[in-house]
């Protein structure tokens, strides 16, 4: 197995999916739990997930998977994110030298090392920022305003504000922070993000609601597709390298189905279907297999309800998606 070649292939397939270079792309970073039930190499207990697990790192751009790295779970969520991003960014910029790149992640990736690296590479970022007493004190007026609106309307109320902020020890400079002062039925719900984008580039509310919250669909739902539909959590061999190989298998299965969805299912009833639905409704077909001396005959069931769609998909793949 050549991990570097597989990693490069994931990025190359993403690049080849575009007929021309986009002006702007958003890369999503995320870590997730891969629960373990044996004594695999690299097995550790994770306090947040309350279980023994791996902590794989994913990088997505929209629906495109660019990196899937299996990691032990006795690390920070952001560990090695710069090292994993560097070859991805270099390969993208080699093909698209003028593309603007933005990085997005939750509070687990709000680390000085990553933000400084982004600045050095001319990459913008929007990252979740864990709340603390200092931050909450800075938005006391906005929280009171949100609570008052909630009491008047009995519906969730949001007030946005922004300010420049630096931690006492870990940040090297002040950075722009967007705060969402929100009051819900269950009470106060303050949230914060830090960004390199200026107010002129994106206003506070738009940045939070459209810029940051979009990560709820990607990468979180894409990771669920891999784990629930394509068996990315079947990491039951004894060694880390062989479990990474299994993660690669799942990743390539995802790339194949995502390509099928993008190239051959556009405009069909399965255009927005998740990988599990595509497997169940399009690819699982009853068939009779006959083996002769020279040939293997596969006779698909005549009662298959999506025969017309299957034929359309086959034609689209043969013509490069122009059917």
Q: What is the pLDDT of residues 201-248, one digit of tens each?
A: 999 999 999 999 988 777 788 899 999 999 999 999 999 999 999 999
State the Cα–Cα distance between residues 240 and 243, nearest whole angstrom: 5
Q: Return the structure tokens found at 97.
A: 């030298």
At 323, the pLDDT band (50, 70, 90 cuts) reads very low
pLDDT at 321 (0 to 100):
61
Q: What mean pLDDT is predicted for residues 58-85?
A: 96
Q: Which two tokens stand for residue 62?
A: 């929209």
List of residues 6+ apart from 131 with CB closer than 8 A? 190, 191, 192
Q: What pLDDT is attached to residue 303?
A: 85
CA angle 307, 311, 317 (to 5 degrees): 145
On average, the pLDDT of the chain sits at 94
Give the whole-angstrom CA distance, residue 209 versus residue 229.
29
pLDDT at 21: 96
pLDDT at 288: 93
Of residues 114, 110, 132, 134, the one with CA closest to residue 123: 114
Q: Pick from 293, 265, 298: which is nearest to 279 by CA?
A: 265
Model-wide pTM > 0.75: yes
pLDDT, mean of residues 287-305: 92
Question: Residue 296: what pLDDT?
Answer: 96
**Residue 158: how many CA atoms within 13 Å on its side-chain side?**
11
Whether pLDDT at 1 is above 80: no
CA distance 292 to 191: 65
Instruction: Choose the weakest-confidence range: 139-143, 145-149, 218-222, 224-228.
Output: 218-222
DSSP β-ladder status, 64-69 and 175-184 = unpaired
pLDDT digits (tens, 9 = 90+) for 97-128: 999 999 999 999 999 999 999 999 999 999 99
Decide if pLDDT at 256 tops 70. yes
Per-residue pLDDT, 301: 86
- What's the pLDDT at 319? 84
User: Which tens digit of pLDDT belongs to each residue from 172-198?
Assistant: 999 999 999 999 999 999 999 999 999
Residues β-bridged to residue 28: 60, 104
Rounded to an integer, the average pLDDT of 271-296 is 93
What three-state secondary structure class fits 30? Answer: strand
């Amino acid at each position: 197995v050549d991990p570097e070649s597989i990693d490069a292939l994931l990025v190359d397939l993403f690049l080849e999916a575009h007929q021309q270079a986009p002006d702007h792309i958003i890369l999503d970073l995320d870590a997730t739990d891969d629960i373990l039930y044996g004594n695999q190499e690299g097995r550790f207990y994770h306090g947040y997930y309350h279980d023994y697990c791996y902590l794989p790192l994913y990088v997505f751009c929209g629906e495109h998977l660019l990196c899937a790295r299996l990691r032990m779970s006795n690390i920070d969520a952001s560990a090695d994110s710069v090292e994993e991003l560097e070859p991805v960014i270099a390969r993208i910029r080699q093909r698209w030298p003028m593309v603007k790149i933005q990085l997005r992640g939750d509070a687990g990736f709000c680390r000085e090392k990553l933000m400084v690296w982004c600045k050095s590479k001319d990459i913008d970022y929007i990252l979740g920022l864990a709340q603390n007493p200092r931050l909450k004190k800075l938005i006391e007026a906005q929280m009171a305003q949100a609570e008052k609106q909630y009491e008047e309307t009995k519906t969730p109320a949001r007030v946005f504000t922004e300010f420049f902020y630096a931690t006492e020890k870990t940040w090297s400079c002040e950075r722009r922070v967007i705060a969402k002062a929100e009051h819900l039925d269950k009470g106060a719900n303050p949230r914060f993000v830090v960004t390199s984008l200026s107010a002129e580039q994106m206003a506070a509310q738009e940045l939070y609601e459209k810029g940051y919250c979009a990560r709820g669909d990607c990468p979180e739902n894409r990771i669920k597709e891999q784990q629930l539909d394509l068996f990315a959590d079947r990491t039951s061999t004894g060694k880390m390298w062989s479990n990474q190989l299994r993660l690669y298998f799942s990743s390539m299965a995802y790339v194949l189905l995502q390509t099928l969805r993008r190239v051959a299912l556009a405009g069909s009833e399965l255009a927005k279907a998740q990988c599990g639905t595509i497997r169940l409704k399009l690819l699982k077909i009853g068939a009779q297999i006959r083996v002769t001396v020279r040939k293997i005959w596969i006779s698909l069931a005549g009662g298959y309800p999506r025969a017309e769609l299957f034929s359309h998909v086959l034609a689209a793949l043969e013509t490069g998606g122009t059917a």
